[in-house]
Structure 1
Amino acid sequence: MKTYQIIFLLLSTISLSVSSFQYDVEVAEKLSAYSLASYCSHSNLKNWSCGKTCERVEPLKDVKTFENEKEIFYMIGYSQKDDAIVIATRGTIPWSIKNWLTDLSASKIDYQNCKKCQVHLGFYQAFQSIVDSLKIEFIKMRKQYQNSKIYITGHSLGGALATLLIPEIYKLNNNMPIDVFITQGSPRVGNQQFSSWFEQNNNFSKISARITLNKDPVVQLPAYSFPFSFKHIGNEVFYKDVSNKFEFIQCLKPEDQSCSFGVYFATNIADHQSYFGFGWGTELLFCR
């Protein structure tokens, strides 16, 4: 083989390695279904009887749910089929003024886990209001299912909460990467240093994806530009539409013009409610 051909192949391999990452569509769809289920009521989740939303995936065993006075919610349970502990943090309930106040508290606060890191004040305060309870439930479930996998997921505000949660579960997992971390329509969570810290730690997971969809406006918030200066974490999986779940673009680095950062006039709230073709906007009304 000629020298220039060898160089071309090496460059092609390097290019591939920096533009893509491991992504499992079927697992991503399943975790998205669990994210949607987290919008359902406590009683329906306990019995796994929330209609189409619950029928889409296998029931979770030993489901625990928690909601506080800020109307921040999570569920944790065990998937026997996947042998996995599943944690889903809920997104914004459309009629919850408290949830919207959380979303709009877009000033920054220092984040102690990494140097010069700052995160969204509202997301951080919401996270702090559930993290102690969630850790307790995770430790209990980990003792019961010692060798199980760990899945973490969340949609919208829930995606931001899941992003703040994963370093904590990583610590409780003996500083070992969790198995799958997938969010849908997550807003930006922290500053440049926070994003870089996530990258340095490989998103604290073996498989991770920050899924975005076409003109979803939530993934453009809070603003990237000065004076807000928020930045996404990487491993983005960008869908132009929901007609083919196997047709997507992978962007390893955050704020890549090839993915959602390259979308102008991202004002279609329907995209925020259409991940994997699920009826996020309507199904939650019937599973409450």
Structure 2
Amino acid sequence: MRLKSIAATRLFALQLTITTLVLALQIPPQHGPTATSQATTPKSISVSLFATLERLSRLVDISYCIGTTGVRKPFECVSRCSDFPSLSLVTTWNTGPLLGDSCGYIAVDHGVRQREDSDAYTAGQPAIVVAFRGTYSIANTIVDLSTVPQEYVPYPFPGDGDEEPEKPEHKCTNCTVHMGFLDSWKNARRLVLPQLRQLKTQYPSYQIQLVGHSLGGAVACLAALELKVSLGWDDVIATTFGEPRVGNDGLARFIDEVFQLYGRENLEERDYRRVTHKEDPVPLLPLGEWGYKSHAGEIYIAKQQLSPSEADIYLCVGDNDPACIAGADDSVWSTLRRLLHARNVPADSEKSVQADGFPSRFKLWQLLFAHRDYFWRLGLCAPGGDPADWGRGPYQGPDTEEL
């Protein structure tokens, strides 16, 4: 009975969410104030930053093996683990499949070449790597991005056993956060923080590299804030791919302040890189009409198909650069409208969608691909990563139901 109740509740939530989304799509996107008053020609990234981001995309892709075939010591999996002979696995965690759960791994990148390494291998900088996995289902993502925000407190939570923090340098005023993201970080932190403290003592000169895709990007954001603000660690670098909006305008400004994301100077040297991709709707969710705002630090992949080059990737300015994903807002919503009225959905079915929920014939994988394509097609945990001909086009793919 309990399982039936949970299933019924989740179905109702999905129906309610799609109804809201359908209504929202009838309203043109409202672009709020931006840090840039007009679109300017964006600056493409350097070859070295491209190599760093591409490498991190493979590292976060490996996190999708957790919960399926697994990641084992020293650093082995059926996906891309063999690309990283300098990494040593410390631990993995998987608290469950729901939004409030979390999944990922911690590894140490010693940044050295082994004697048997091929000439093509390029080691990274010495770092402690924490990778947060995203969700497998775009349907779950839509439901997960529809919940009500709650107050955000970027300090150790009462009763968690942590020591009292020092007086924080930054204060988060009038901040709210998506409660599912916060619950996910709360579940992960009791496993992640003790390991990080131990590793930081063992490797004091190593950077802390946090990386996440999709919902995992939101969790990586909250983790980075706590490490920077509560623990006072200055050597934290966060990189997210397809990160949704984490909270309200107050939280976005707080993130900008903590990571010094304001201005146009030294864009490549920022300690927070929020990578977005053309036609990916997730960085624009939850809706601005619900009070959510994007923070700065964006790096925009303007090429729709795989694989991009450094000339296709732009450094963005401010929270809402019109030359980046914010400027593509209208086209993304147009894509959603086209998908809603796709060939398999009759033109007069919008009322039935609002009344009966999302039609089962609608293929959510069409949005899924746009959200997965970050240097590689993420989330497969397949030998060698992305099979070469697995739906390479922007919206072509296997005829499978994502719901």
How would you bin the TM-score normalised by the shorter chain? 0.7 to 0.9
Q: In the alignment, does 2:136 pair up with 1:93?
A: yes
Q: Flag structure 1 segments of 5+ consecutive residues without an equivalent.
A: 1-14
Q: In the alignment, does 2:285 pair up with 1:186?
A: no
8 Å CA contact 2:270–2:297 kept in 1: the answer is no
CA distance in 2, matches of 1:166, 1:22: 23
Q: Flag structure 2 segments of 5+ consecutive residues without an equivalent.
A: 1-37, 112-124, 155-171, 262-268, 337-366, 386-403
8 Å CA contact 2:136–2:379 kept in 1: the answer is no
For the aligned residues, what is the CA RMSD?
2.9
CA distance in 2, matches of 1:274, 1:258: 20
CA distance in 2, matches of 1:203, 1:161: 20
Equivalent position amino acid for 2:132 in 1: T
Q: In the alignment, does 2:175 pair up with 1:148?
A: no
CA distance in 1, matches of 2:187, 2:50: 32
Shift in Å, 1:258: 0.9
Shift in Å, 1:105: 4.7
Residue in 1 aligned with 2:168?
none
Moved over 4 A (4+): 19-23, 99-102, 203-206, 284-287
The TM-score with structure 1 as length reference comes to 0.81
Write the deviation string for residues 54-111 of structure 1: whole angstroms up to 9, x where unpaired: 233345214211111344212111001121000111101239x8x6587245211001
- By percentage of residues, which structure has more strand? 1
- By percentage of residues, which structure has more helix? 1
CA distance in 2, matches of 1:258, 1:210: 15
Question: Which SS does the other structure have where 1:49 is aligned?
Answer: coil
Residue in 2 aligned with 1:38?
63
8 Å CA contact 1:211–1:238 kept in 2: the answer is yes
Aligned identity (percent) is 26
Shift in Å, 1:203: 5.5
Q: What are the within-5 Å matches in structure 2 for residues 82-231 of structure 1?
A: 82-94=125-137, 100=141, 103-113=144-154, 114-171=172-229, 174-178=232-236, 180-202=237-259, 206-224=270-288, 226=289, 228-231=290-293
Q: In the alignment, does 2:108 pair up with 1:68?
A: no
CA distance in 1, matches of 2:255, 2:379: 30
Equivalent position amino acid for 2:381 in 1: E
Residue in 1 aligned with 2:265?
none
Question: Which SS does the other structure have where 1:254 is aligned?
Answer: coil
Distance change >3 Å, CA 136–CA 176, structure 1 → 2: same
Equivalent position amino acid for 1:31 in 2: L
> How many residues matched?
264
Q: In the alignment, does 2:51 pair up with 1:26?
A: yes
Equivalent position amino acid for 1:194 in 2: L
Equivalent position amino acid for 1:279 in 2: R
CA distance in 1, matches of 2:372, 2:260: 25
Q: In the alignment, does 2:314 pair up with 1:249?
A: yes
8 Å CA contact 2:225–2:258 kept in 1: the answer is no
Shift in Å, 1:250: 1.5
Which structure has the larger Rg over C-alpha atoms?
2
CA distance in 2, matches of 1:283, 1:68: 19
Residue in 2 aligned with 1:57?
84
Shift in Å, 1:171: 4.3
8 Å CA contact 1:177–1:206 kept in 2: the answer is no
